[in-house]
Structure 1
Amino acid sequence: MTAEIVCLTSQRVNNKKVDEQIFYRLVQFFAIALFECNDSEDFGPAKILMNMCFTFFYEDGRPPNKQFLYNYLRDQAVWHSLRFWNAAFFDALQYERARRPVCANGDGQEHLMDDRHFQENITFGQLGTFTCNMRAFGLSKELCLEFLRKQCTIADLREDQVRMIRENVERCSDQYGQ
């Protein structure tokens, strides 16, 4: 199954819009793959599929014109697992941290402050994305806020950052009608 996911990942760079028949085949494939990921607690591929749910779409001519995969995959059990969200969030943070160039000549306090700000910014950005994704998949506002509270405590985010993400969860609630 991982080979299929890698193939889909490379395809989404070229073409995000698919015709209706392909779209519904993707819905079926994703549903099966997500079931397997949840059943085996293999959350890496599920995280990749989550991102693809917000990428692939077809246009049916009715408002809203773009129909994304996430609209059809909200009932998947993996989305309702906090284990998935915690694992996917940790993986996303690790990925972003690994992309940072290593500074060989950091000079003490200034280097530590730069690193602290870098870590804060990564966590802040990922939490905004993840909580909005959680709402899009139909998770309750309360569950999203609990996830946010735990992750903000772990990361020791500033109160103004926490407030902005909370406000984002509220906006996502309005956007997704939940």
Structure 2
Amino acid sequence: MTQVVGSQTSLQSWASSLSYDSQAEDYNEPKEFMRKFVEEVFKTPHMIDIDKKARFGELAQARSFHTEQGRLWFARCINAKRCCKCVTEASFFSLIQHFSVMLFECNEAEDFSPAKSLMNMCFTYYHEALTPGGQNRTKEFLYSYLRQQPIWRSIRFWNAAFFDALQCERSLRPVITREEVESNRLQAVTDELHYQENITFGQLGTFTCNMHAFGLSKDMVNEFLRKQVTIASLRLDQVKLLRENVERMYSGVSSDDDDDDDDDSAAADDDD
């Protein structure tokens, strides 16, 4: 009887160990798959066969914890390659294909954190294409091929992505010690307010430019801007600059053109 109990205990222990090992292996599988998959996208995109594409699609879909890990690790692995901004034509179009799948699934799952990272990468990776005359090369970025993704039309995405971007910026700021606050309380509070204003102002400038680049309507951009400047209580001069920049983008006038106009006006005044 003792031998039977001991045997059962040993069997249960072995089964438990096997289950744990299996779970650990399953947990790491999305990470390892995406690491190798992204490596192939950048180095040998022609070697990605139908089975790998099928597995990529499974990990991208919004069904389970594993798929959340798949989306997360795809974004992380893509981000880790940003030192190689200029890619081959084959890699460029492979990135477009797989970004399209992942962004669609992120939108379906409302999984906005990896989508925000991929949004940034849309303005990072490019390839050099020949101009129609064939004389010169021009940079083509991913975003110009991904404008029709449904996620860009989601104001929920932009609000969540903006909040995430602010949190990332804030995490880079050294934590103020109690001694520093107590020794110069007013200055510490003032510095913190200025810091928060500046990162919000900077991120809003970036986000509104990105929204314009994705072809979103001026009304949508202004609505996003209105909400965020209200939440952040930005200064009136900062709000004015942001609104003027949106007007400039949608009127097709660059800041350089404005500067040229100012120079021309100044020259005319001098002539007078």
> TM bucket by the smaller chain?
over 0.9
> 1:75-134: per-residue Cα shift (whole Å, max 9, x none)?
101101000000000000111111100121122221111110000001000000001100
Counterpart secondary structure, 1:12: coil
Look up the equivalent residue of 1:156 and give its one-letter code: S
Q: TM-score w.r.t. structure 1 length?
A: 0.94
Which stretch has the larger CA shift, 61-70 or 36-45?
Answer: 61-70
Quote the sequence identity (%).
57
Q: Tell me how far apart the structure 2 counterparts of residues 56 and 95 of structure 1 sit (CA, whole Å).
A: 21
Partner of 2:63: none
Partner of 1:61: 130
Q: Tell me how far apart the structure 1 counterparts of residues 249 and 121 of structure 2 sit (CA, whole Å).
A: 19
Which stretch has the larger CA shift, 99-108 or 125-134?
Answer: 99-108
**Following superposition of structure 1 onto structure 2, how do residues 1-178 of structure 1 map, counting pairs within 5 Å?**
1=70, 2-13=72-83, 15-62=84-131, 65-104=138-177, 105-106=180-181, 107-173=184-250, 174=252
Look up the equivalent residue of 2:215 and give its one-letter code: G
Q: Tell me how far apart the structure 2 counterparts of residues 8 and 100 of structure 1 sit (CA, whole Å).
A: 25
Structure 1 unmatched ranges of 5 or more = none
Look up the equivalent residue of 1:12 and give its one-letter code: R
1:64 deviation in Å?
7.4
Look up the equivalent residue of 2:168 and give its one-letter code: Y
Look up the equivalent residue of 1:66 and give its one-letter code: K
Look up the equivalent residue of 2:127 and give its one-letter code: Y
Q: Tell me how far apart the structure 2 counterparts of residues 163 and 123 of structure 1 sit (CA, whole Å).
A: 14
Q: Tell me how far apart the structure 1 counterparts of residues 206 and 193 of structure 2 sit (CA, whole Å).
A: 20
Q: Tell me how far apart the structure 2 counterparts of residues 175 and 132 of structure 1 sit (CA, whole Å).
A: 13
1:11 deviation in Å?
1.0
Q: TM-score w.r.t. structure 2 length?
A: 0.62
CA RMSD, Structure 1 to Structure 2 (Å): 1.5
Structure 2 unmatched ranges of 5 or more = 1-69, 255-272
Q: Tell me how far apart the structure 2 counterparts of residues 170 and 33 of structure 1 sit (CA, whole Å).
A: 32
Between structures 1 and 2, the one with greater helix share: 2
